[in-house]
Amino acid sequence: MKLQNYVSGGWTEGAGDGAALVDPVKGEIIAHASTEGIDMAAALDHARTKGGPALRAMSYGERAALLGSIAETLIANRDRYFEIAQANSGNTKLDAAIDIDGGSGTLKYYGAIGKGLGDAHYLRDGGFERFGKDDTFQAIHIRVPIQGVAVHINAFNFPSWGLWEKVACAFLSGVPVLAKPATATALLSYEMVKDVIAAGTVPEGALNLICGSARDLLDHVDRRDAVAFTGSADTASLLRSNPAVIRKSVRFNAEADSLNTSMLGPDAKAGSPEFDLFVREVAREMTIKAGQKCTAIRRAFVPRALLDDVAGALEARLAKTVVGDPRNESVTMGPIVDKGQQQGVLDGIATLGREARTVVGGGAFAPVDADPDKSAFVPPTLLRCDDPEGASVVHEIEVFGPVSTLMPYDTPEQGFALSARGEGSLVASVFTGDDKFAGEAALGLAPSHGRVMVIDDSVGKLQTGHGIVMPMCVHGGPGRAGGGEELGGLRGLRFYHQRLAVQGNKERVQALADAAAEVTV
Ligand code: NAP
């Protein structure tokens, strides 16, 4: 099977064999993807000239309905997508649900908030500005949709959610999309886009897809476009320094690596509710999607006196993980996405081993229903570093697999400072029953994180998960995490709108304001 590219109004096959997509359990090639010969400049131009005007002619309310119809198409084909996620990504049912339902759920969420924006075609942000005693001359700020293409370059670990969470914000804003899923797991994105295009609700040129290498794509972006990238920090810095991106001041948003923190409060005791919730969360984050989540807990900080208790509790919990082929119902953790990444994870564990010892993992290991030579499994691996102050690699290397390092802290301030040594992360979680510490931790961790989740017993069952990105909350983080922002309700539309101050006679300013949807973004 060869994945095709949907560009310039039709499905086109790239030349040559292209890259292979592999089943990470069986080691068999299941498809190929190539963009060889695709005219990227023409693809972008078609999106700008056909898709953009068609979407901008629709109101926010009409575009919200479009998001709803896309979600319906995805929901109707859900079972088939689960099989693809199992075959190409080695997902368990839970892993696949997070990705697939996360995609349709985010579309529905943006459909619902878009409905509230009604018939408007642009947004008003904030109130009227006066410049003196006489209010005849005034100003407002409006946001209008950008007139280019949203170029979405996505990571391999969320071929559904990563695709649709970005499309949701761009489409609601009135901006066409050219999406490039990561090649290794592009099959799911491809099948989904095929179904959505076949459903016939998306205007021509609005949704475009390339499967395979991006090749010269970014050389053709211009001042009208917006590039939203998700992937490693190294690729992010390469792409943001593309000459066309720099010279033409192209909007660029990056969601990248992270050494996310979870912290157990100094008030915790072995067996206290927050202690148990913390242990459950660290184990869950290590095993969901085999730890291949940008938000997964990489560093777990606990009061020094509790280090042995936490290590023991995590060891007991992780011992219940069944690693193997997710087609077997007893399996609770699947493989790493491919052999190359498996080797990367094993190398990363060896590097962390210079500063940390193994609590769980290492040694002999036999995945269920899989040949270790052909498959790409890594067992859950918990490391322990007793001297995080003197360590360096545990704060620097993101090992993108079922791997976490447990570390002690002596004072809360030291814990916050150690967390900040990750150089900027997406998310931190704090487990404490102490309200005062909860507040201090939220503010202490805030400068180096995009989201802080503060958990006590009262929200233990309701909380959405350290690593789960909810569309109503901002997703992104400073520094190494990319310095970007996605989602966050209406805030997610900012990237796809140009903000403009309009100054003039108060009646004219009022008339412009009356036609806008009133929001604060
Ligand atoms: P990656 O190797 O950086 O690739 C990301 C995307 O960039 C892929 O689509 C890749 O395409 C593309 N790409 C690579 N080189 C390119 C180039 N020269 N020009 C244009 N596109 C290029 O990352 P990954 O391995 O897919 O994902 C893992 C990383 O993503 C982890 O570090 C993880 O933390 C991070 N991540 C972050 C988030 C977040 O929301 N912050 C979410 C998920 C993952 P090909 O596949 O064709 O090479």
Q: What is the pLDDT of residues 485-496, one digit of tens each?
A: 999 999 999 999
- Atom index in ligand 1 nearest the CA of residue 398 equals 32
Ligand 1 centroid from CA 438, angstroms: 34
Residues with beta carbon inside 6 Å of ligand 1? 153-158, 180, 182-184, 213-214, 230-232, 235, 238-239, 255-258, 294, 398, 400, 426
What is the reported pLDDT for 518?
A: 85
Query: In sequence order, what are the residues at sequence separation of 6 or more whose Cβ sits closer than 8 angstroms to the Cβ of residue 247?
Result: none
Nearest CA to ligand 1 atom 9: 182
What is the reported pLDDT for 521?
A: 73
Task: Answer yes or no: is pLDDT of 262 > 90.
Answer: yes
Please report, for residues 70, 321, 379, 401, 422, the alpha-carbon distance to residue 367 in angstroms, rounded to integers and kept in the order given. 37, 11, 8, 15, 32
- 129 backbone dihedrals φ, ψ, rounded to 5°: -105, 130
- Of 192, 208, 199, 163, the C-alpha closest to 48 is 208
What is the reported pLDDT for 519?
A: 83
Contact in structure between 385 and 356 (CB atoms under 8 Å) = yes
Active site residue 169: no
Task: Answer yes or no: is pLDDT of 520 > 80.
Answer: no
The C-alpha atoms of residue 258 and residue 248 are separated, in whole angstroms, by 29
Hey, what are 379's tokens? 């067992």
Task: Answer yes or no: is pLDDT of 173 > 90.
Answer: yes
Contact in structure between 208 and 7 (CB atoms under 8 Å) = yes
Which residues face 430 on adjacent strands? 263, 454
What is the reported pLDDT for 105?
A: 98
* Residue of 191, 294, 485, 486 marked catalytic: 294
Which H or E element spans position 214? none
Ligand 1 centroid from CA 129, angstroms: 43
SS3 299: strand
344-366 pLDDT, tens digit each:
999 999 999 999 999 999 878 89
Dmax of the chain from CA atoms?
A: 80
- Rounded to an integer, the average pLDDT of 398-423 is 97
How many other CB atoms are found less than 10 A from the CB of residue 332?
18
Average pLDDT of the chain?
96
The C-alpha atoms of residue 471 and residue 484 are separated, in whole angstroms, by 15
* Confidence tier at 257 by pLDDT (50, 70, 90): confident
Nearest CA to ligand 1 atom 4: 231
- Rounded to an integer, the average pLDDT of 467-494 is 96
Active site residue 294: yes
Dihedral (CA of 18, 23, 27, 29) sign: negative
Torsion-angle region of 37 (φ positive above 0: left; ψ -120 to 50: alpha; else: beta): left
Please report, for residues 28, 339, 421, 490, the alpha-carbon distance to residue 87 in angstroms, rounded to integers and kept in the order given. 10, 15, 37, 35
What is the reported pLDDT for 362?
A: 84
Ligand 1 centroid from CA 56, angstroms: 30
- Of 282, 238, 283, the C-alpha closest to 256 is 238
- Of 281, 262, 285, the C-alpha closest to 273 is 281
Ligand 1 centroid from CA 255, angstroms: 9
Mutate to test the pocket of ligand 1, among 95, 294, 345, 398 (most ligand atoms within 8 A of CB): 294
The C-alpha atoms of residue 101 and residue 71 are separated, in whole angstroms, by 9
Alpha-carbon torsion angle 353, 354, 355, 358, nearest 10: 20
SS3 479: helix
The C-alpha atoms of residue 480 and residue 502 are separated, in whole angstroms, by 36
Which residues face 206 on adjacent strands? none
Per cent of the chain over pLDDT 70 is 100
The C-alpha atoms of residue 195 and residue 201 are separated, in whole angstroms, by 11
Nearest CA to ligand 1 atom 42: 294
* Residue of 191, 255, 355, 485 marked catalytic: 255
213-237 pLDDT, tens digit each:
999 999 999 999 999 999 998 999 9
- Rounded to an integer, the average pLDDT of 448-456 is 97
Threshold 0.85, pTM exceeds: yes
Ligand 1 centroid from CA 63, angstroms: 29
95-138 pLDDT, tens digit each:
999 999 999 999 999 999 999 999 999 999 999 999 989 999 99
Nearest CA to ligand 1 atom 26: 155
Per cent of the chain over pLDDT 90 is 98
